Structure 1
Amino acid sequence: MRKNYSSEFKARLVLEVLRGERTLSEIASENQVHPNMLTRWKTEAVKNFSQLFEKEASKTKQMEKQYEDKIDELYKQIGRLTTQNEWMKKKSDF
């Protein structure tokens, strides 16, 4: 039966390995993980470091677009309400 490890657990162990304060074998035995598994997690983490920053930039751009879309929608609504308000003023003057 395979064990499933959480992302947080994997990240914590990989960071510990990358710090280099203890050997990979020490970290593996202390956390009851096979050293090959730690090596695989480390390799995967190092390989995907650049994606971490790409995702952040992508999220920021997506949030900016949503913000701009919301502002555009609010300006359209202001225009409609202003037009309706002017129309109501003209109708009430008669």
Structure 2
Amino acid sequence: MSIPWRADPTASLSRRLGDTPAALGHTGNDDECPDIWELDNGDIVVVGQDLTGAYASRLPADLKIAEGESLVVIPRSTFVSAKADLPDD
């Protein structure tokens, strides 16, 4: 039996994936910054709007959000701009 994945809260932010929120035109101030970062252990951090409650009643049967997890939405352009920084494996 495999051990379930758990986020490592001691991992450090290593590098931004894609363009800055300002470069993508997604922020007009310091409070709105959708972003994607890689941690030093290879895991990914996504900064976006927590819409867990808004989607809770509309989730497909095979999409589960565990306690302590959130459904986070980011702009498509933020995700697309990170493509060049993502490894193939």
Q: TM-score interval w.r.t. the shorter chain? A: under 0.3
Which structure dedicates a bigger proportion of its chain to strand? 2
Q: Which has the higher contact order (CA 8 A, sep 6+)?
A: 2
Which structure dedicates a bigger proportion of its chain to helix? 1
Larger Rg: 1
